[in-house]
């Protein structure tokens, strides 16, 4: 009965959280950040086409990448500037799409405000490191530019309140239809594995490898779950925490390692085809560099957690 109550509560809170997140993002509140974003983008010394793409990514990542591809094929921005722009877009894309719209509400519900909050903050820090590194490289390798227009105008969706509500609800339903079934199944499977003592066998198999990071062998189930969907990984970590198998520190390290698996899958299944379609041969180089930057940033964050927590 405790599991049923937990799952019902989780489903309700996740539904509320995802809907609220989508409502906030559809309300164009990010447009109020434009005054702070513009000087930062311009300070990077990127050409104005790159600055425009980074700025656009805060509001619409797809539009930002497509616009950048158009500038690249028109010869208005070179290979190096294009790659740096894509890496600089990491933080705005993570903030506006992959994290706050879906992952943050689910993480806070399943993992709790403490572990979930730390994990979200570390993901933001990882993305910021990538963006800031590209910013520093660009600023140090390119001369200052004075060819910017006075303003950067991004087309913001000015749809009616009802249209925004419908869009937010449609996106929320699409997300929830995928996430909730995976979350419930994952939690029940892990609970069944504990009941049948299968987790003890799994733990003994992978303990030697995971012990390098002071993780129990049970954590391998999280990494396997991440292969299916990030929400399955969250649910599995939540189950391990409920059973008292892992500590908060171990949960966060496991989640970060799992995020590296998720990133790998995303780059193979989505990013690589997309970048090649947008940028041609340069797309492969963009994918490799962006992927390596993501992994390096994650490894740094993991080491930070190991040392400080």
Of 101-105, 195-199, 289-293, minimum mean pLDDT range:
195-199
Backbone angles phi, psi at 104, to 5 degrees: -60, -50
DSSP per-residue codes, 74-118? TTSS-HHHHHHHHHHTHHHHIIIIIIIIIIHHHHHHHHHHHHHHH
pLDDT in tens, 292-306: 999 999 999 998 988
pTM over 0.85: no
DSSP 145: -
Highest mean pLDDT among 14-18, 23-27, 89-93, 117-121: 117-121
Per-residue pLDDT at 151:
45
Backbone angles phi, psi at 78, to 5 degrees: -85, 180
Per-residue pLDDT at 130:
92
For the segment 243-269, the average pLDDT, to the nearest whole number, is 85
Where exactly are the structural domains of the chain? 2-308
pLDDT in tens, 200-229: 666 565 556 666 777 777 778 888 777 777
Query: 34 CB contacts (<8 Å, ≥6 apart)?
Result: 55, 152, 154
pLDDT in tens, 122-164: 999 999 999 999 888 888 887 776 655 544 454 445 556 677 6
pLDDT in tens, 70-89: 778 878 788 888 898 889 88
SS3 205: helix
* Mean of per-residue pLDDT scores for the chain: 76
């Amino acid at each position: 009965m405790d599991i049923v109550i937990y799952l019902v509560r989780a489903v309700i809170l996740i539904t509320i959280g995802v809907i609220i997140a989508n409502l906030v993002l559809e309300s164009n509140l990010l447009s109020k950040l434009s005054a702070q974003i513009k000087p930062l983008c311009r300070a990077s010394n990127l050409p104005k086409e790159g600055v425009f793409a980074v700025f656009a990514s805060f509001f619409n990542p797809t539009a930002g990448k497509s616009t950048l591809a158009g500038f690249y094929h028109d010869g208005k921005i070179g290979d190096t500037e294009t790659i740096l722009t894509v890496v600089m877009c990491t933080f705005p894309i993570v903030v506006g799409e992959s994290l706050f719209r879906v992952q943050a509400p689910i993480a806070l519900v399943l993992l709790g405000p403490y572990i979930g909050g730390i994990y979200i903050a570390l993901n933001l820090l990882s993305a910021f490191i990538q963006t800031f590194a590209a910013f520093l490289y660009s600023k140090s390798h390119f001369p200052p530019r004075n060819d910017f227009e006075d303003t950067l105008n991004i087309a913001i969706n000015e749809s009616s309140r009802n249209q925004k509500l419908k869009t937010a609800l449609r996106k929320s339903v699409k997300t929830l239809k995928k996430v909730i079934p995976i979350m419930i199944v994952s939690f029940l499977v892990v609970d069944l594995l504990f009941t049948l003592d299968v987790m003890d066998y799994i733990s003994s198999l992978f303990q030697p490898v995971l012990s390098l990071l002071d993780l129990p062998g049970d954590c391998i189930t999280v990494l396997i779950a991440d292969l299916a969907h990030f929400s399955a990984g969250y649910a599995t970590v939540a189950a391990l925490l409920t059973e008292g198998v892992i500590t908060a520190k171990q949960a966060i390290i496991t989640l970060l390692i799992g995020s590296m698996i998720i990133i790998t899958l995303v780059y193979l299944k989505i990013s690589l085809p997309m970048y090649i379609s947008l940028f041609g041969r340069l797309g492969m180089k963009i994918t490799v560099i962006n992927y390596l930057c993501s992994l390096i940033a994650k490894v740094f964050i993991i080491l930070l957690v190991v040392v400080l927590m």
